[in-house]
């Protein structure tokens, strides 16, 4: 998803289109540039396997250098999450091979657990997509500061269902905007809708064939369904 919001400040969707983004990761013009979006979960996982930050940085540099020269190649395995997991395993093995050091048994066990569907990798990947969706909503809020969509939803999600007066006060503390009581519910509903759409777009762009069924399945696998509760699809 691009860094600019696809929504204007006066137009909002009435439902979420799970397959709105039809651009697959395999179509990215720059493989290395695209993969940088997901640097955070990649580095987090590598640092658990290669605790020395210098080793982690070298492994990441090796991966990015390869992508610059070869792109994603032909090893497309359905989705980017799986591709990156495979690339991380390859980077770690190359790191030890380059230094002519036997692969430690502990690292072997860690690599075995870094499967495409491992809970740890799924959690890191999930967090990354959520962070990107939150940033997209925050950028949209900055287009019209009188509509604090990001702050309303962020506070609600992270501080619980506050009484309306408390929610208005918390938003005002962060934005200096006092939302009229009558606008809280519709703005919050709009924020939920937009966030769900941004999240669906993020998921879609990590899939090779981002149709509705594939996006829905990945949302379920990443345990993101809660963000679609009560949101019309």
Query: Is the separation of the CB atoms in 24 and 205 below 8 Å?
Result: yes
Query: Is the separation of the CB atoms in 133 and 202 below 8 Å?
Result: yes
For residue 223, is it left (φ>0), alpha (ψ between -120 and 50) or beta?
left
Residue holding tokens 């200096």? 176
Q: What is the Cα 213 distance to its own chain's centre?
A: 19
Could you tell me which of 66, 77, 63 has the C-alpha nearest to residue 117? Answer: 77
What pLDDT shows up at residue 10? Answer: 43
Between vectors from CA 205 to CA 23 and to CA 80, what angle results, nearest 5°?
A: 120
What pLDDT shows up at residue 7? Answer: 35
Taking the CB of residue 41, how many other CB atoms lie within 10 A of it?
A: 22
Encode the chain (233 residues) as per-residue pLDDT tens digits: 444 333 333 456 788 999 898 788 988 888 889 999 999 999 999 998 887 889 899 999 988 888 888 888 765 657 999 999 988 988 899 888 888 888 888 888 888 777 667 899 999 999 999 999 999 999 999 999 999 999 999 999 999 989 999 999 999 999 999 999 999 999 999 999 999 999 999 999 999 999 999 999 999 999 999 999 999 88
Domain boundaries, the chain: 25-116, 121-228
What pLDDT shows up at residue 78? Answer: 76
């Amino acid at each position: 998803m691009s860094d600019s919001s696809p929504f204007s400040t006066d137009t909002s969707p009435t439902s979420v289109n799970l397959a709105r983004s039809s651009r697959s990761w395999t179509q990215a013009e720059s493989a290395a540039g695209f993969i940088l979006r997901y640097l955070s979960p990649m580095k987090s996982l590598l640092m658990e396997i290669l605790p020395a930050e210098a080793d982690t940085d070298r492994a990441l540099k090796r991966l990015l250098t390869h992508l610059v020269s070869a792109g994603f190649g032909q090893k497309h395995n359905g989705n980017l999450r799986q591709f990156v997991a495979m690339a991380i395993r390859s980077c770690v093995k190359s790191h030890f091979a380059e230094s002519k050091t036997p692969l430690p048994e502990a690292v072997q066990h860690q690599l075995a657990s870094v499967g495409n569907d491992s809970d740890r990798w799924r959690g890191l990947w999930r967090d990354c997509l959520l962070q990107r969706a939150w940033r997209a909503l925050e950028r949209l809020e900055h287009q019209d500061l009188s509509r604090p969509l990001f702050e309303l939803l962020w506070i609600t999600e992270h501080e619980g269902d506050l009484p309306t007066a408390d929610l208005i006060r918390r938003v005002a503390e962060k934005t200096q905007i006092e939302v009229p009581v009558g606008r809280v519910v519709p703005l919050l509903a709009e924020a939920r809708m937009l966030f769900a759409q941004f999240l669906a777009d993020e998921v879609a762009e990590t899939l090779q064939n981002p149709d509705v069924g594939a996006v829905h399945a990945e949302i379920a696998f990443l345990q993101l369904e809660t963000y679609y509760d009560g949101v019309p699809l």
